Amino acid sequence: MTNNKYGLASLRKQFGTDEKCLEFIFKTLHTMECTCGGTFKRKEGRRQWQCSKCRYQLAPTAGTIFHKSDTPLSLWFHAIMVFSNAKSGVSAKQMQRELEVTYKTAWRMLTLIRKALKQGDDTLHGDVEMDVGYFGGKRSAGRDNKDLSRVMKDKSVVIAAKERGGQIRAAVVADASAKTHGDFLGQNVSTKGTRLMTDATRVLNNVALGYDRYMVDHHMGEYVRGDIHVNSIETFWAHVKRSMRGTHKVVSKKYLQSYLDGFVFHANNQHTDRGRFEALLGTILHASA
Ligand SMILES: [Zn+2]
């Protein structure tokens, strides 16, 4: 029976030493055979492998987020496990406590892990929900919403799309204009074989012309009509907002996209703890630092 959990016990067993982590990185990124026909062998006491024939040397951590780090690989893998299991996000403070490292080290590790999480670039199709959300900003709109425009200016605009039964994409964008929506759609959603589900916002009227579009009118109190709704995105917004408040308190505009990438990764990898950890490790190893 395979254990689908993946906690500290599993981690210690699989990646308890730097040696085991290094072997794994080599096997994930390289083969034992050199192009010259020779075989790579580990260089004693070094983070390097060498070809038996042409003497070519390989450093398996080269190009990965681990390469220029003094932090032991086993600690890095520990951080990746913590990140993988934290569906509501993890703060640098929590990571610092968990790994017993300095705040600076914890912050740097988290930043590099998130940076490796690029969202996919193939287009979504089928039943695709799309919606816009507003994040951050602390000021209130005041009486009669007279400061509303100033408050909205403080906020970050995020557009998200979700293919039902498939992936989520979420991007911090410059504004909520028609052009911006059109650009997002063009990059992320295929016009072919797509039923695009949106709110009745007029901003989409021209830019979504190429799509088979279905609307629910939130302003008229209509949220679901048959299978037409944007509930999956609403669920995503709610989860991200709740998690941000609970874990990160304040997120500056500068880092919002990388935090979103983390939430999108979790939303797109809802399999077992073990499966998600493996997916995260693979993603990080294949991303170039
Ligand atoms: Zn060789």
Query: Could you tell me the distance, in angstroms and rounded to a whole number, from the CA of residue 31 to the centre of ligand 1?
Result: 12
Query: What's the pLDDT at 160?
Result: 98
DSSP 166-203: S-EEEEEES---HHHHHHHHHHHEEEEEEEEEEE--GG
List residues bridging with 128 in a β-sheet. Answer: 163, 196
Residue 42 Cα, ligand 1 centroid: separation in angstroms?
13
What is the distance in A from the centroid of ligand 1 to the CA of 57? 9
Query: Residue 183's pLDDT is what?
Result: 97
* 62 CA to centre of ligand 1 in angstroms: 18
d(Cα 79, Cα 163) in Å, to the nearest integer?
A: 30
- By CB atoms closer than 10 A (0-12, 13-18, 19+), residue 275 is middle
Task: Tell me the CA–centroid distance for residue 54 and ligand 1, in Å.
Answer: 4
Strand 124-135 and strand 189-199: the pairing is parallel
| pLDDT tens digits in sequence order for the chain, 289 residues long | 467 899 999 999 999 999 999 999 999 999 999 999 999 999 988 899 999 999 999 999 999 999 989 999 999 999 999 999 999 999 999 999 999 999 999 999 999 999 999 898 899 999 999 999 999 876 566 666 666 677 777 889 999 999 999 999 999 999 999 999 999 999 999 999 999 999 998 999 999 999 999 999 988 888 898 999 999 999 999 999 999 988 877 778 889 999 999 999 999 998 899 999 999 999 999 987 6
The model's pTM: 0.91
Beta strand pairing call for 40-42 and 57-58 = unpaired
Measured in Å, residue 69 CA sits from the centre of ligand 1 at: 28
| Centroid of ligand 1 to alpha carbon of 60 (angstroms) | 15
DSSP bridge pairs for 127: 195
**Closest Cα to residue 70, out of 96, 98, 102, 29?**
102
- Dist. CA 219–CA 60, nearest whole Å: 55
